Chain A
Amino acid sequence: MTNFFIGMFLSTLITAMLTTRLYRLIAWYAVNSLFLALAAMSEAVRIQDEAMLISALLTLVLKSALIPYLLKHFAVKFQAERNITPSIKVQYLIILIPAILVFTFYLIDPIIAGAAKNYISLAIASLFLSLVLMIEHRNVFAKVIGFLSLENALFLLAMTATEGMPMLIELGIFVDLLMAVVILNLLFKKEASHV
């Protein structure tokens, strides 16, 4: 089941990269985080790790509900530009995305075989895809979504490759993520007061 959810995670990320509307991008990010949370849950049940279950639930609540809601709220409040055409053309993206996927599988090839091998390559691929998502947009909101997807790629790696990081570190990551969102809010606020 984990495989299925991670596949859906990757495909939603790719769809998000091709999106040209802001609210739809936020929605795809929410779906992306939802599949991440589901994958984490099924993995937590498989290896019977309670700590991972907690972080999966936190992901579900924070990343697939609260943060997309907040972002949408900010976007409405500050009247963000909703048309976000990627600066990389779609036809080039369609070549670039598979190239990244193939490259990461090639990169990971020398690793000693194990169950996590494919997951590691998928996590690195989604890291690169999130970077592309960040690069291809000029809109600040879209860049923020790219950053949050990058955070998701990190979580995917931590969950699959290490069978769960120490709880303290994961909580630290969540706290930092929240602080980042708070800072983003304040930055937006200043921007609005500027204009």
Chain B
Amino acid sequence: MFEALFLPPLAILLLSFLDIAKIKRFLPIVSAAIFIPVLFLFASDHILYYHDLIAVDKLAKFVLLVSSVVSIGVTLALESLEKHVAIDAKDYKRFYRFFALFWIGMIISVAANSMGIFWVGLELATLSTVYMIKTNKSAFAHHEAWNYMIVGTIAIALILFGIILIYAAAKPAIGEEAMLFSALGAHIHQIRNSYLFEIGFAFVAVGSFVKMGFFPMNLWLANIERAAYYPVAALFSGLLESAIMVGFFRFAHIAKKLNESHLIGFTYIYALLTLFIVAFLIYRAKDFMRLFSLSGVEHMVLIAIFWVSGGYFAALLHFAAHAFLKPALFISTGVLESKGKYHIAGALRGYKGVKGTLFFILVGFFMLAIIGLPPSPIFFSEIFGFGAMVEMAKASHHLLLMFGAIAFMLLLLAVIFYKFVEVYQSMKYEGSEEPKEVYASEMSALALFAIALLALLVSFDYIEHIV
């Protein structure tokens, strides 16, 4: 059944060669067909495929489900893209084509059991993104596509470098199977050259962190998402960062068995530096895209840190909630910015009719949910995540240092919270009332994400038993 996962993206790839204006209405149905193989995978106990190169374990199933919802939402929103931005028919086709390639790469890397396959999938997704950025014809987008090509491939190359080092460390003990996550996890204590393994992990982690916009590459993602069309940013935050995060989950899970204190020290220092810079960058953000993009970096930091602190439930809940909320916000940015890029004041005013009212309610809900106001899933994940961090701090040898780090992190989160509340108030109460158009396709995408978020709230039991 695993192969059937590739059918919907392949179908979109082929259909994109036809007249896209006529068939784009049906493409969301095509992409929704991915639910069939995903649900079949959920029902079956079969985990390993293709000589253990592919492993659809509980984590992969969960991420595949989340990413399917995101893909369907983005396909829905893509339908009204031409109403928000100037895009010609040829580029529209190309966008769908590379979206399909991107999706294939993402499925490969999430379901990979071999580190090499994981990397190949990630590289495919990265290279196809270059083109999605390039569909925007502006000089800024052209420059950022180059930027993405270079920084993205450096990040990916660092990940591969780390993978090779890990393989070199594990091969004498495990043999050719050292390429497999499952074999590495099972035989980790047989590795004699643990220092080499840790250098490898450091390379993988730095590569993933660069890709997700951690310190010191905080602004590059924000620039790229600003330059590209709105759905690209939605795909970035919902799918690409998820794929990288799953890789980080798997590597960190293995590294934790080897030397927990090194892993925690490394990730905490990185996370603190990133949060410190990102909090103030968010505070100074003047447009929606950069605001949401930087907030994406913040949430990736939180997910990484919850995971290494042992709060697996919190990390996965946060991960799923962010994967639904952020694409929803990016898609609604298309409407919010219809009166100009820097019009934050009054962006939530002037919506008429049923669609408009629903849009207004949903976007307000998303804005407040992303900073963790209850009953948003982010609220629960942050409570449980910080709980896990405190538990870990109590068990460590550096109680005061760890508590200091946690308190500092909460302070920085407060800065971000303040900024979001301020932006929300400005959107709702300031500025003048200007009429804005909302289209059915993006409304259905937003509704889908809202339903998915509510579904998360009732699936705590399931998420708890993934790891």
Contacts and interface: CB of A to CB of B under 8 A. Distances in A.
A165 interface: yes
B153 A180 contact: yes
Nearest to B172: A114
What is the size category of the interface that chain A forms with chain B?
A: 35 or more
B149 interface: yes
A49 interface: no
A120 B161 contact: no
A187 interface: yes
Interface of B: 114, 116-117, 119-120, 123-124, 127, 130-131, 134, 139, 142, 145-146, 149-150, 153-154, 157, 160-161, 164-165, 167-168, 171, 176, 179, 192-193, 195-196, 199
A154 B150 contact: no
B149 A194 contact: no
Contacts of B123: 176
Interface string A175-186: 010011001101
A151 B127 contact: no
Given A140-B146, A166-B179, A176-B120, A187 B193 contact: no
A138 B117 CA distance: 33
A190 B134 contact: yes
Contacts, number: 86
Given A169-B116, A194-B139, A154 B157 contact: yes
Interface in A37-82: none
Contacts of B124: 176
B160 A173 contact: yes
A187 B179 contact: no
A110 B169 CA distance: 13
A1 interface: no
Given A154-B164, A190-B142, A147 B196 contact: no
A111 B193 contact: yes
A131 B153 contact: no
B430 to A, nearest CB: 39
B170 to A, nearest CB: 10
Nearest to A127: B161
Contacts of B160: 154, 173
A151 B179 CA distance: 19
B122 to A, nearest CB: 10
A184 to B, nearest CB: 8
Given A134-B150, A151-B157, 19 more contacts: A107-B199, A112-B192, A124-B161, A147-B150, A147-B153, A147-B157, A157-B168, A158-B164, A169-B119, A172-B119, A176-B120, A176-B124, A176-B127, A180-B127, A180-B153, A183-B127, A183-B130, A183-B149, A190-B134
Nearest to A161: B168
Interface in A105-156: 107-108, 110-112, 116, 120, 124, 127, 131, 134, 140, 143, 147, 150-151, 153-154
B128 to A, nearest CB: 9
A168 interface: yes
Contacts of B149: 183-184, 187
Contacts of A112: 192-193, 195
Contacts of A15: none
A64 B154 CA distance: 21
A65 B120 CA distance: 24
A161 B179 contact: no
Contacts of B164: 154, 157-158, 161-162, 165
A187 B146 contact: yes
A188 B119 CA distance: 26
A154 B139 CA distance: 33
B111 to A, nearest CB: 16
A143 B127 contact: no
A170 to B, nearest CB: 9
Given A166-B176, A169-B116, A172-B116, A120 B127 contact: no
Contacts of A107: 199
A136 B199 CA distance: 26
A182 to B, nearest CB: 9
B131 A183 contact: yes
A161 B146 contact: no
B167 A111 contact: no
Given A112-B193, A176-B123, A176-B127, A162 B139 contact: no
Contacts of B154: 131, 134, 147, 150
